[in-house]
Structure 1
Amino acid sequence: MALSSHHEKLASKAADFSSAPVPSPTTSVSPTPSDSRIAIRVPSETEVPSSKEVETVNAELATEAVEGTIVETANGERIYVEFVENDPRNPINFSRTRKWVITITTSTFICAAVAGSSSYALGWPSMTRDLHTTNFKATAGISTFTAGYAIVPLLISSISEEFGRHPIYVVTTIGFMFMHLGVALADHIRTVLIVRFFGGVFGSGSILAAGTIADLWDPHERGLPMAIFSFNAVAFTGLGPVFAGYVEQNPHLEWRWIQWIHLILCGVLALATILFSKETRSDVILSRLARKLRKETGDPRFRARVEDERASLRTRIYISVTRPFYFMFTEPAVASFSLWVGFAWGITFVLIESIAPVFKTLHNFSQGSTGLVFITFFIGSSFGMCTNIIQERLYAKHVGTHGPEARLYHAMFAAILFPIAMYIYAWCTFPDVPWIALAIGITLFIWATFIMFLTVFNYLAECYGPFASSALGGQALCRNAAAAGFPLFTQQMYSALTYHWANTMFANIATLMIPIPFVLYFYGPQIRARSKFASQVKHRYNLSNS
């Protein structure tokens, strides 16, 4: 198969690069005539022109514009611009204050995106009345949003490599803000559905926050920033409906003001992004420095290495679009985790759609009180944050002997908690069972989902190293596709099977998935050894028992 052989060839190229000795910036080396380099962020088949000798020259002698930057000249044909040690322009060397400001600003975008996706559901009663539409058509607004959110991530990583993360943040936050304006002013359900799709497109810019965290923090420092990112992604899926329920209940506000409030908040976010965020891709920063030098000196030899090492934008987009599918069908770890977290995320959006009718019909909740039920998302995510402290300690203790599988203790707990939560939710949907029992079931489910969400990011990132974006792209596509598809059959399913049996079916499927993290824990090293991609980064772990 052409696609398969193409990706396998790229994996082989990356293996050659990862095993090649890296020259010190203070020593001279003599590469062989066939010497080539593959950009580690985006492995490609683009070769760097060979050179007989690489020597380090003083940056001050090159130009004052890059004072403190190492410049390497390759046989007089290229002058490569690099960061010096502890260079303050290198994002990994930013001050902790700046790192946290950027991390919080970008992570807030995920809050706005997921809250915007879910709070929309609380406005259905007045929307269906004002737009003279059906509840099913209004429901489709969730699916069109998540569809847009699923598609664009296949492209956005390659675009960020070309133009940087910060311009994408600026464009997408502003675009996301205006999509709320479009929904607020809509006078037909078709307009709502179309604008919601583009809202998902612009909202998907928030997924770059995970990459920003990787740019800013060393691996041993990423635990807390990634936990905050995951917390925001799960908790704010529920916190959006908390305020939306009371807005919908007020006859002077209703569904349009849910959008107006989001518009105002997203405007503040867009302003904060412009003022406080900053470019964090080191290769993009070096490319800009090199362009600046070429312009100021008129010397075309000044280059960033990535300019010569990476493939064309068209090739990178092709790889970023096709490789996640390739990973999902050829990599057992990616396939199993994509199926698992995709199923959980689909059920999350089933809950978003079903909580209102369940609590209204069984316990006579008002629209505002129904919104308060979504606080369970915050509580469950908070439990996940707390238990992640234990996971981080176990990881630090066992990573030396278990490698990336030391990330899976938390996931094994979640695998058991997941079906238990669904069984509780299924068999507490009776009028004579206190509503708090349902709330407990939802809280436990969100606790499990948070753990799964966080584990997938951390485990796949460690397993696949430079190929992590493709591995995570595969699970993100599966997760968002499930979130788009599940709400389309929720109402029909509950009407046919009742709340008890429909949720029992979900619980049974979750039970069948319990072995997934256990299998990866015990057999992960063997599975990774057979992978043409994961096997290339196994040397990063000092394992004694594998």
Structure 2
Amino acid sequence: MIADADTRSLARRSLASVNELVDPRISPAERPPEATLDERFLRQLSDHRHHKDEKNEKELEQSASENTADETIYVEFEDDNPRDPMNFSYGRKWAITITASMFSILTASSSGAYALGFTSMTRDLNATQFQATVGLAMYTLGFALLPLVTTSFSEEFGRQPIYLVTGVGCLLMHMMTALAQNIQTVIVGRFLAGAFGSSASAMVGGTIADIWAPHERGLPMSVFATMALSGSGVGCVAAGWIEQTPHMEWRWIQWIHVIWIGLFLIAVPICMKETRSGVLLTRLAKKMRKQTENHHYRARIEDERASLRTLIYISCTRPIYLLFTEPVVAVFSLWAAFAWGILYALIESIGPAFRTVHGFNTGQTGTAFTAMIVGCFVGEAIQMYQEKLYAKYQPTKGPEARLYSACLAAVLFPVGMFLYAWCTFPSVPWIGMVMGIFVFLIALFIIYVAVFTYLADCYGIFASSALAGQSLSRNIMGAVFPLFTTQLFARLTYHWGTTLFGCIAVLMIPIPYVLLWKGPAIRARSKFASQVMHLPAEHK
């Protein structure tokens, strides 16, 4: 059989070019010098960088030797091939970006909306406030743990199937929660809903990186961050009035999420195409082998990809390794994790605070979360200006040009905390507390985007591991904070409890300033970031 001309045009390079740096969207680049990495971690790194199984290394080398004689032909995209995700039309790219980000809204809204249903849930299930809070914490814990395992599956199966499978799982777990007859079922359902939801949400950043060039990613990433963070506010505003309606209450909060997740599952096959280049090239190579009956056609990733077991091992261990050994990852993750913990502390405590201090009902309390939505959009506007600063100063400042807005956020963070803390008096209008939430959300939005963009620039081919490490720490803090928030405010009051948070935020103000000042020197001494600094720009 003869391959069609369009398919045949994909095959361009033989094994003679195998020593070239591979496309970083398909596989990481060449191994760093051995002297720069400790011996214990080098083996793990070798598995990932070259995508070989240690136990099969000799077999792969023998296979490569045989292929040299047979002139193995690697299937690759030409620069203008429309099937390359980087060459999708802008309309298609934005359809994929918006659809993927929509799932982030659903998963974020589920966390806050759940908390607004505590009153009716504890009554119907004869549960305590703390037991209901455990359900909130378990949802976030699922977000922290499962992506370390499940993100590797996109290497093997592509992104679109993972969106569909995890979306179905998330839908079923919300149904389980809606039908629960005891609090234990709710807690289990919440953990599994977070686990399934996080697996899809964790891929959104990678999906954006699949289809947008580095200089184009600022706006799509900001849109993603806006939708992800504003989702908490959107969910709370809606859930407050659902909880206020006697014939709906907490179960309908879950059913409405089931409906929206169902709509997302319908949109995925319509609006989204597969964006993982390695998976697409593997499919095309199989098609060419079938059409031509020539088994020399291969996708490069077929020879370089590790086994799924090895990928899972690396994705579980490397993020933790980077989190505890890389100063930039550790410090930035600590800052973002503390801010994330405060967000979930507020989600759990805003309702009781507004009811106690100002006598709000549940619907009015939910409306107060509008401040979160508005804060995210103001943060988005600031981030758009940050993109202009980045374009101007990146040639001289490098990745640190991402941090100008983060320096502003470092100041706004404690300001928002103090404003909220000292407006929690009946004599102070309720708008004061709302303004504190608003200022804090501006800071949180900027920090959230800065973490993604700065670590991605600093760690290049290691960015997914660095971001997974900060995501792990961030979501663990989000799970822990609500568990002690009620007790903290009961002992210290809302004034002093939130003031304590503000004082800790003050201690963290220097973080972005130090990185802006000494970031290049810190990265130069890093085992991983230093390798990225010496790579050509096109391979970072």
TM-score of the two chains, using structure 2 as the length reference:
0.89
Distance 1:45 1:236, change over 3 A: closer
- Report matched runs for 1:457-468 at 5 Å: 457-468=452-463
Alignment of 1:452-531 (within 5 A): 452-531=447-526
Q: Mapping of 1:268-307 within 5 angstroms? A: 268-307=263-302
Would you say 1:43 and 2:38 are equivalent positions?
A: no
Alpha-carbon distance, 1:288 to partner = 1.1
Equivalent positions of 1:249-260 (< 5 A) are 249-260=244-255
Is contact 1:36–1:49 with CA below 8 Å preserved after alignment?
no
Give the aligned residue type for 2:351. Answer: A
Per the alignment, in what secondary structure is the counterpart of residue 251 of structure 1? coil
- 1:335 corresponds in structure 2 to 330
Identify which range, 469-478 or 270-279, moves more after superposition.
270-279
Deviation at 1:460, TM superposition (A): 0.3
Q: Which residue of 2 aligns with 1:179?
A: 173
Question: Out of 135, 139, 150, which is 1:145 matched to?
Answer: 139
C-alpha distance 236-36 of structure 1, shift in aligned 2 (>3 A): closer
Per-residue Cα deviation, 1:9-32 (whole angstroms, up to 9, x for no partner): xxxxxxxxxxxxxxxx97889579
Distance in 1 between residues matched to 2:220 and 2:20, nearest whole Å: 38
**Alignment-derived partner of residue 5 in structure 2:** none
Q: Give the Cα separation in 2 of the matches to 1:540 and 1:168.
A: 32
Does residue 114 (structure 1) correspond to residue 102 (structure 2)? The answer is: no
Distance 2:91 2:308 in 1: 34
Q: CA deviation at 1:338?
A: 0.7
Q: Counterpart of 2:522 in structure 1: which amino acid? A: I
Q: Secondary structure at the match of 1:84?
A: coil
Report SS of the residue matched to 1:432: coil
Q: Say if 1:79 and 1:301, in contact at 8 Å, map to a contact too.
A: yes
- Cα separation, 1, equivalents of 2:12 and 2:20: 20
- DSSP 3-state at the match of 1:80: strand
- Shift of residue 79, structure 1, vs aligned partner: 2.2
**Gapped regions of structure 1 (runs ≥ 5):** 1-24, 54-72
TM-fit CA distance, 1:239: 1.0
Instruction: Please point out which of 81, 105, 112 is paired with 1:87.
Output: 81
Separation (CA, whole Å) in 2 of partners of 1:178 and 1:217: 32
Give, in angstroms, the shift of residue 389 of structure 1: 1.8
Q: How does 1:29-428 map to 2 (within 5 A)?
A: 39-40=27-28, 42-44=48-50, 46=52, 49=61, 74-204=68-198, 205-428=200-423
Query: How far 1:293 sits from its partner (Å)?
Result: 2.6
Alpha-carbon deviations, 1:328-374, whole Å to 9, x = none? 11101100011000000010000001111111111111110000011
Q: Name the aligned partner's letter for residue 142 of structure 1.
A: L
**Alignment match of 1:431 (pick from 403, 426, 447):** 426
Distance in 2 between residues matched to 1:197 and 1:447, nearest whole Å:
29
Q: Deviations over 1:375-418 (max 9, x none)?
A: 11111101101111221111111000000000000001100110
Aligned-partner SS, 1:408: helix
> SS state of the match for residue 43, structure 1?
helix
Q: Distance in 2 between matches of 1:182 and 1:316?
A: 31
CA drift at 1:481: 0.3
- 2:49 maps to a residue whose letter is P
Larger mean CA deviation between 466-475 and 301-310 belongs to: 301-310
CA distance in 1: counterparts of 2:363 and 2:110, whole angstroms: 17
Identity %: 54
Q: What is the distance in 2 between the residues matched to 1:85 and 1:440?
A: 50
Worse-matched range after superposition: 42-51 or 391-400: 42-51
Partner of 2:43: none
| Offset at residue 210 of structure 1 (A) | 0.5
How much has 1:155 moved relative to structure 2?
A: 1.6
What SS does the aligned partner of 1:452 have?
Answer: helix
Matched residues in 1 for 2:328 and 2:356: separation? 41
Alpha-carbon contact 2:13-2:75 (below 8 Å) kept: no
Asked if structure 2 preserves the Cα contact closer than 8 Å seen for 1:82 and 1:286, the reply is yes
Using the TM superposition, give the Cα deviation of residue 85 of structure 1 relative to its aligned residue in structure 2, in angstroms. 1.9
Q: Are the aligned partners of 2:14 and 2:74 in contact in 1 as well (CA < 8 Å)? A: no
3-state SS of the aligned residue for 1:429? Answer: coil
Q: Secondary structure at the match of 2:82?
A: coil
Structure 1 residue 300: deviation in Å?
2.9
Matches of 2:51 and 2:234, distance apart in 1: 46
Taking a change above 3 Å as real, the CA distance of residues 463 and 370 of structure 1, as seen in their structure-2 partners, is: same
Question: In structure 2, how many angstroms separate the alpha carbons of the residues matched to 1:216 and 1:306?
Answer: 18
* CA displacement at 1:152 relative to structure 2: 1.3
Q: Look up the equivalent residue of 2:162 and give its one-letter code.
A: I
Q: What amino acid is aligned across from residue 103 of structure 1 in structure 2?
A: T
Asked if the contact 1:31–1:50 (Cα under 8 Å) also holds between the matched residues in 2, the reply is: no
Structure 2 residue aligned with 1:57: none
Q: What is the aligned length?
A: 500
Q: Which whole-Å CA distance do the structure 2 matches of 1:294 and 1:422 have between them?
A: 62
SS at match of 1:359: helix
Instruction: Label 1:438 to 1:78 Cα distance change in 2 as closer, same or farther (>3 A).
Output: same
Partner residue of 2:42? none
2:202 is paired with a residue whose SS is helix
- Higher mean displacement: 96-105 or 305-314: 305-314
CA distance in 1, matches of 2:425, 2:501: 18
Deviations 1:455-477 (A, max 9, x none): 00000001000100000000000
Which SS does the other structure have where 1:303 is aligned? strand
